[in-house]
Copies of this chain bind each other. A is one copy, B any other.
């Protein structure tokens, strides 16, 4: 009997504060790690030129999106300005059941929601190379009101405080390095004894 240790796919949640470069790292991963499945979000915003249904987004009317929320079909969702964005549960679960690893690149608040229904997911917190970058982001162009600055500072603090519920911390000092670290985390997680034994408890019975 050959020993196989990769069972069900892993759900990887890549999150972190605004300005950490989640989107950039995720785009680079798409190039370098085609073995990963990238979750497709649902949104109520209208498609832009070139965007493809089911690849860029699942485009939904507000009514459809509301129904998805009500029926628990979204792992997480949020409203930004006038539009809703969320992660359809079925797409993720189907890929995991096929044995694929699925990567979710989402905001910190969304990640918190995912942790409630997928505590076994791998949570990676991406940080910018220095705190100065976060500060620069918060200060913006210096034209904002004091209230805007205070609100942003508070939002950043709340995001950073969530780091304590993450499994891993990756610093985005260089995109290729961050990608390497994320891929290594994935490989390692597939070899964690407690994951392997949950999936294949009949392993050692051959002896």
Contacts and interface: CB of A to CB of B under 8 A. Distances in A.
Given A160-B204, A163-B204, A187-B180, A3 B127 contact: yes
Contacts of A166: 193
Contacts of A184: 183-188
A189 interface: yes
Interface of A: 1-5, 124-125, 127-132, 134-135, 153, 156-157, 160-161, 163-164, 166-171, 173, 180-181, 183-189, 191-193, 196-197, 204, 206-207
Nearest to A134: B207
Sorted nearest first, the 3 A-B pairs with minimum C-beta distance are A188-B188, A184-B187, A131-B206
A133 to B, nearest CB: 10
Contact of A193 (B156, B163, B171, B181): B163
Given A3-B173, A135-B207, A167 B187 contact: no
B1 A131 contact: yes
Contact of A3 (B124, B130, B161): B130
Contact of A171 (B3, B131, B185, B192): B3
Most buried by B among A124, A125, A188: A188
Contacts of A135: 206-207
Contacts of A171: 3-5
30 contacts: A1-B132, A2-B129, A2-B130, A2-B173, A3-B128, A3-B173, A4-B171, A5-B171, A134-B207, A135-B206, A153-B207, A160-B204, A161-B204, A163-B193, A163-B204, A164-B193, A164-B197, A167-B192, A167-B193, A168-B188, A168-B193, A169-B191, A169-B193, A181-B187, A184-B186, A184-B188, A185-B187, A185-B191, A188-B188, A188-B189
